[in-house]
Amino acid sequence: MCGLDIDDIDYSRRVVRVFGKGQRERTVPFGIPAERAMRCWQHDGRPQLVADRSKSAFFLGARGGRLDPRAVRRVVHDAVGSVPGAADMGPHGLRHSAATHLLEGGADLRSVQELLGHATLATTQLYTHVTVERLRAIHDRTHPRSR
């Protein structure tokens, strides 16, 4: 997110080009609510912060430079902290939650691997333990011979 440039966004296809570890490139889709927010930021918010050092960065900090990962972490912690009963979580926790929800919703492991940018399927499989635990709980709660 912090490395996102204006040219990395394709609104017509609703995808962004993301560079992960080792400069591995992947394409990540985004939904209509995200498109609205991104367009609003690009046309209304960003121009107020643009400075000489902004270059092509999409997200800018208060001084006009590229958004800092620490600032993102603080914003996420503050936003999640304002939700009653929510566990303390940072950006990586949101990423983990999104992957878990995709898997629980029926997404295949290979697709989630691609979205997350994992080099190996084994890394993505770490996200399945939550899903297996959830399936076990459902089984124990609903199957007549589970006890």
Task: Label residue 105 by pLDDT band (50, 70, 90).
Answer: confident
Cα–Cα distance, 67 to 58 (Å, whole number): 9
5: left (phi over 0), alpha (psi -120 to 50) or beta: beta
Task: Label residue 112 by pLDDT band (50, 70, 90).
Answer: very high
List, for residues 56-86, the tens digit of each pLDDT value. 999 999 999 999 999 999 999 999 999 999 8
Q: Decide if pLDDT at 131 tops 80.
A: no
